[in-house]
């Protein structure tokens, strides 16, 4: 029997990779997206799956649209990935971050409770919950959020646990540490660095401006991490898991490795710009995925050096294609086929 999944935030990095992972496992995949003036489907097209998923417009600020998305798709599994997920922006938009990233979770949970409590839920949590420290974090490490994004995610984390315990809903929290890929947005420091290294090596630009070079993160590879999401949903009982690499590297290390990939010295091109410093910053994050290894059989396949190499090589190829006169495949306005978009006012024939 074919299983059905609904992914909120399917147009993001994780949503796109997860959709591909589920399609490879013969799932029927639906995804929600937010209507905006400029469509943002480039990741789905990049992975060549745009025509293989069914898209439903929905808004986490609108409970009715969340209910409708679940009613239309009738999912066996719901992966809630949609959020305002950029830490820097959460300081600029703390109220909006709370509404979308925090209260959006309760809207999804309530929709499941009202429509079909047998639907399994994966809630995308974050390592930012820990707020830093000096050692590896496990599922038992106390949370100390240090930014509005983390505080909003903490609300979602606890509400997921409460609905699991109070309403017997199969609901998991995936406490994922930083995970990157060539599909990462340019506002995130890893992709900002890999993209700049590629451009500088080709003479397109001269330098890159960054904030805190000393902050250390546990960086993994997004396709590895979406596999852990699926594994959590296949267990007999719901639980919460840390997903990480057990390694920590600084922003400076990432920059050094990225520029080394293109034969350049990072110190000649990286400038510190105080405008990119945050009011509060987490200096150190490292996860311990021991529980996931034992219970899920999961472990990261791609580690730090290979991750940087993958990202820089892909950005380098993109800019070379641009120099050759090809349009960026991620820069063109991409519209999904009309028969793959499901109106919230029309029920799709099954």
The CATH code of the domain that includes 67 is 3.40.50.720
Identify the active-site residue in 128, 180, 253, 256.
128
Identify the active-site residue in 149, 163, 221, 225.
149
Say if 349 falls within a structural domain: no
**For residue 146, what are the contacts with CB-CB under 8 A and spacing of at least 6?**
128, 131, 132, 280, 281, 282
Identify the active-site residue in 8, 126, 190, 245.
126
Give me 266's structure tokens: 């990072």
Say if 199 falls within a structural domain: yes
For the chain, percent helix, then strand, then coil, each to nearest 5?
45, 15, 40
Q: What is the DSSP string of 142-191?
A: PP---SHHHHHHHHHHHHHHHHHHHH---EEEEEEPPEE-TTS-TTSHHH
Say if 345 falls within a structural domain: no
pLDDT score recorded for residue 168: 97
Q: Which is it for strands 179-180 and 220-221: parallel, antiparallel or unpaired?
A: parallel
Backbone phi, psi, residue 347, to 5°: -90, 135
Q: How many CB atoms lie within 10 A of CB 189?
A: 23
Give me 256's structure tokens: 């050094």
Instruction: Respond yes or no: is residue 155 known to be catalytic.
Output: no
User: pLDDT digits over 269-278, tens only?
Assistant: 999 987 877 6
Of 106, 105, 27, 30, nearest in space to 74 by CA: 30
Say if 247 falls within a structural domain: yes
pLDDT score recorded for residue 251: 96
Say if 104 falls within a structural domain: yes
Residue with tokens 């063109």: 332
Give me 273's structure tokens: 């710009």
Distance in angstroms (rounded) separating the CA atoms of residues 30 and 9: 10
User: pLDDT digits over 63-85, tens only?
Assistant: 999 999 999 999 999 999 998 76
The mean predicted confidence, pLDDT, of the chain is 90
**For residue 342, what are the contacts with CB-CB under 8 A and spacing of at least 6?**
30, 54, 55, 56, 72, 73, 348
Instruction: Respond yes or no: is residue 128 known to be catalytic.
Output: yes
Whole-model pTM?
0.91
Instruction: Respond yes or no: is residue 225 known to be catalytic.
Output: no
Backbone phi, psi, residue 67, to 5°: -60, -45
Distance in angstroms (rounded) separating the CA atoms of residues 144 and 154: 9
Say if 191 falls within a structural domain: yes
User: pLDDT digits over 138-149, tens only?
Assistant: 999 999 998 889
Angle between helices 148-167 and 103-115 (to 10 degrees): 20
pLDDT digits (tens), the chain, 350 positions: 899 999 999 999 999 999 999 999 999 999 999 877 567 899 999 999 999 999 999 999 999 999 999 999 999 999 999 987 667 777 778 888 888 899 999 999 999 999 999 999 999 999 999 987 778 999 999 999 988 899 999 999 999 999 999 999 999 999 999 999 999 988 899 999 999 999 999 999 999 999 899 999 999 999 999 999 999 999 999 999 999 999 999 999 999 999 999 999 999 999 998 787 766 677 899 999 999 999 999 999 999 999 999 999 999 999 999 888 875 544 443 444 444 555 543 433 33
Number of residues written out for the chain: 350
Say if 350 falls within a structural domain: no
- Count of domains observed in the chain: 1
pLDDT score recorded for residue 283: 85
Beta bridge partners of residue 8, listed in sequence order? 32, 80
Containing structural domain, residue 231: 4-340
Give me 131's structure tokens: 């707020």
Say if 346 falls within a structural domain: no
């Amino acid at each position: 029997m074919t299983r059905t999944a609904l992914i909120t935030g399917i147009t993001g990095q994780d949503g796109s990779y997860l959709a591909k992972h589920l399609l490879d496992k013969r799932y029927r995949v639906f995804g929600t997206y937010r209507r905006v003036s400029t469509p943002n489907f480039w990741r789905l097209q990049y992975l060549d799956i745009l025509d293989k998923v069914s898209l439903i417009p929905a808004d986490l600020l609108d409970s009715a649209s969340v209910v409708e998305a679940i009613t239309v798709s009738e999912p066996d599994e719901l992966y809630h990935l949609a959020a305002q997920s950029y830490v820097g922006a959460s300081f600029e938009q703390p109220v909006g971050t709370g509404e979308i990233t925090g209260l959006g979770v309760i809207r999804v949970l309530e929709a499941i409770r009202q429509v079909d409590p047998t639907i399994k839920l994966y809630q995308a949590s974050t390592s930012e919950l820990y707020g830093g420290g000096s050692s590896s974090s496990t599922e038992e490490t106390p949370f100390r959020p240090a930014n509005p994004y983390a505080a909003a995610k903490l609300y979602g984390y606890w509400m997921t646990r409460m609905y699991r315990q109070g309403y017997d809903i199969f609901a998991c929290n995936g406490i994922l540490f930083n995970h990157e890929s060539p599909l990462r947005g340019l506002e995130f420091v890893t992709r900002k660095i890999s993209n700049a290294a590629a451009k500088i090596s080709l003479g397109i630009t001269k330098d890159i401006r960054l904030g805190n070079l000393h902050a250390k993160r546990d960086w993994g590879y997004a396709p590895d991490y979406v596999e852990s999401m699926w594994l959590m949903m296949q267990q007999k009982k719901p639980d919460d898991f840390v997903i990480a690499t057990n390694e920590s590297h600084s922003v400076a290390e990432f920059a050094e490795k990225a520029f080394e990939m293109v034969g350049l010295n990072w110190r000649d091109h990286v400038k510190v710009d105080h405008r990119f410093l945050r009011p509060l910053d987490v200096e150190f994050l490292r996860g311990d995925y021991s529980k996931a290894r034992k219970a899920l059989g999961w472990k990261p396949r791609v580690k730090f050096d290979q991750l940087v190499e993958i990202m820089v090589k892909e950005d380098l190829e993109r800019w070379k294609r641009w120099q050759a006169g090809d349009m960026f495949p991620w820069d063109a306005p991409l519209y999904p086929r009309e028969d793959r978009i499901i109106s919230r006012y029309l029920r799709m024939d099954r």
